[in-house]
Amino acid sequence: MRYIIVLALYYLALILIGYYSSRKIKVTVEGYLLAGRSAGTAMIAATLAATWYGGGMLMGTAEWAYGSGISNVWSWEFTAVALLLAGLFLAKPIRNLEVVTLPEVFKMRFDNKNQILLAVINIVILFAFLGMQVLAIGTITRLLVPSISENLGLLIGVAIILFYVFVGGQLSVLLTDFLQFILLAVGTIMAALYSVRAAGGIDHLINALPPTFVSPTGVGTAAILGWLLSYFPASMIEQEIWRKVNTAETASAAQKGTVFAGLILIALTFLTPFAGLAAKVIYPNIKGVEALPYMALNAMPVWAGSVVLIAVFAAVMSNASAYLIDGAAMLSLDLYGQITGTPREKLVHLSRYMIIGMGLCAVVVAKLLPSIMGLASLAYAIYAPVCFFPLILGFFWKRVSSNSAFYSMLIVLVVEIYLYAAGQPWGNPALIGFPLSLLLIIVLSLVLPPDDKQSDIFFKSVKSSKAKVLLSVIIMSPLVLIRQAKAIR
């Protein structure tokens, strides 16, 4: 009964925020999809941290820690560091572009065929991850309120999200993210403290686990390298950075907020495995996915367990709302708008109905593909090698042309899909995809004629000496990683 009340109050807060936002927003592209570019530093930090953190980081890290130990935390630490670096070097140039979506950047820098290709890749990824959140909503609702079936809980949760995103747009997402970030931060700290206490203290916990479980490299250097190659670069070019940074009121607020979000996540992420480690000691025979909920329900005071479970729920809701508005923006602006030639401002109403359509489709996809976690991981791993170098090099090297970017992405996409379909014959396909992408974009850019007029207009908007320093690091890093991977093999 207590969890029904807690969940009902949480849902009520989201509905009220949605209603409030609907009274404040202007139904324009900037007003609806970017909250009128009104977000300050604290709001940017909270919304990015809430979305980045997500149910996958909080619940997923506990699950992985239960299965193989603390070293799994590196997968999420790489995403946090990527967010920090994006804040330091990319946030200001991104904000100065005043775009809504990442594919719009590709149109500004290259042409609309690059915009459409990147939009299609992003939308596939968003559907996979949105399906994950929908499944998680049903699962967590059933844990909180066993009398509600998973399907009913899923439908109620999705209906709440669709309501506040549909009526309030990005402003409602910003405000709910702020609330959800507070819940996430408090819930993470509570989960770590009470889990360690339940396991008999940190010394007893460490001594009760196998040595590999408490080793920073317990899963193996090759696995950590694979995460670095996929999670780190993919996070730096995540659609969420590009859109949410553009909700900032100034470029300075965008940069500071993104940096703060990265620092917050670096700190919080180190706390996430402890619930899984403690569950391994106290409840060695449960499923890994049950580690955090089991600890919250059985090893914590009622109030602390309630906070932790609602924090997990908040993480999932934050992710889902972000994916909905991102997908709707790309479907309407980058696909429908480009294909039909419809003026941008006439697409805002279509964006709202795209949100409803995406939510309903995600429910269907989630029920048809219960193993969607594998699909999402696959999509994310392919995204980084395909898109990373065309975006980063295109951002700072004038020689990169629209054709060199397009054909390098297309070729690497086909190669990556083939390698995964063939059973990864040479290990992680990213080890092939990254050097191939870098080689293709450089060779094609040198062979094919540049788009001088288009690139001149673009570079006037994004001039940044700091970003050029980062560029050299980014270009060299995969070469070093490939060399290390060969040594490991």
CA distances from 117 to 98, 227, 314, 402 (A): 21, 25, 32, 12
Helix (H) / strand (E) containing 139: helix 112-144
For residue 248, list its beta bridge partners. Answer: 39
Q: Cβ atoms within 10 A of the Cβ of 237, count?
A: 24
Task: Please indicate, yes or no, if residue 133 is contained in any of the structural domains.
Answer: yes
Find, among 480, 489, 486, 487, the residue nearest to 228 by Cα: 480
Q: How many CB atoms lie within 10 A of CB 472?
A: 10
Q: How many CA atoms lie within 13 A of 101 on its CB side?
A: 30
Per-residue model confidence (pLDDT) at position 373: 52
Residue 274 pLDDT: 95
Give domain status of residue 382, yes or no. Answer: no
pLDDT higher than 50, residue 162: yes
Contact 415, 433 (CB under 8 A): yes
Alpha carbons 454 and 467: distance in angstroms, whole number: 20
How far out from the chain centre does Cα 193 lie? 26
Count of beta carbons in the 10 Å neighbourhood of residue 322? 28
pLDDT for 465 equals 46
Question: Which has the minimum average pLDDT: 77-86, 110-119, 261-270, 478-487?
Answer: 478-487
Within a domain: residue 358? yes
> Region 25-50: what's the mean pLDDT?
93
Radius of gyration (C-alpha) of the chain in whole angstroms: 22
Query: Do residues 205 and 278 touch, judged by C-beta distance below 8 A?
Result: yes
Q: What is the pLDDT of residue 137?
A: 87
SS3 202: helix
222 contact partners, CB below 8 Å, separation of at least 6: 427, 428, 485, 488, 489
In a domain, 254, yes or no: yes
Query: Does 396 fall in a domain?
Result: no
- Helix 112-144 to helix 372-396 angle (10° resolution) is 140
Average per-residue pLDDT in the chain?
A: 86
Q: Which residue has the tokens 């009913």?
A: 152
CA separation for the pair 387, 124 (Å, rounded):
14
Contact 192, 269 (CB under 8 A): no
The answer to whether residue 443 is domain-embedded is no
Write down the pLDDT at residue 384. Answer: 83
Give the pLDDT of residue 169. Answer: 94
Is 62 among the domain residues? yes
What average pLDDT does this structure show over 349-376? 79
Question: Residue 190 carries which DSSP code?
Answer: H
Residue 238: give the domain boundaries.
2-371
Token pair of 237 as six digits: 């070019």
Dihedral angle over CA of 183, 186, 191, 196, nearest 10: 180
Give the closest residue to 110 by CA, choosing from 382, 398, 428.
Answer: 398
For residue 462, the model assigns a pLDDT of: 65
- Say whether pLDDT at 243 is over 90: no
Has residue 363 been placed in a domain? Answer: yes
Report the number of distinct structural domains present in the chain: 1
Q: What value does the mean pLDDT take over residues 173-201?
A: 94
Does residue 234 have a pLDDT over 80? no
Give the C-alpha separation, 176 to 314, whole Å: 9
Contact 281, 134 (CB under 8 A): no
Q: What is the CATH number of the domain that holds 131?
A: 1.20.1730.10
CB count within 10 Å of CB 461 equals 13
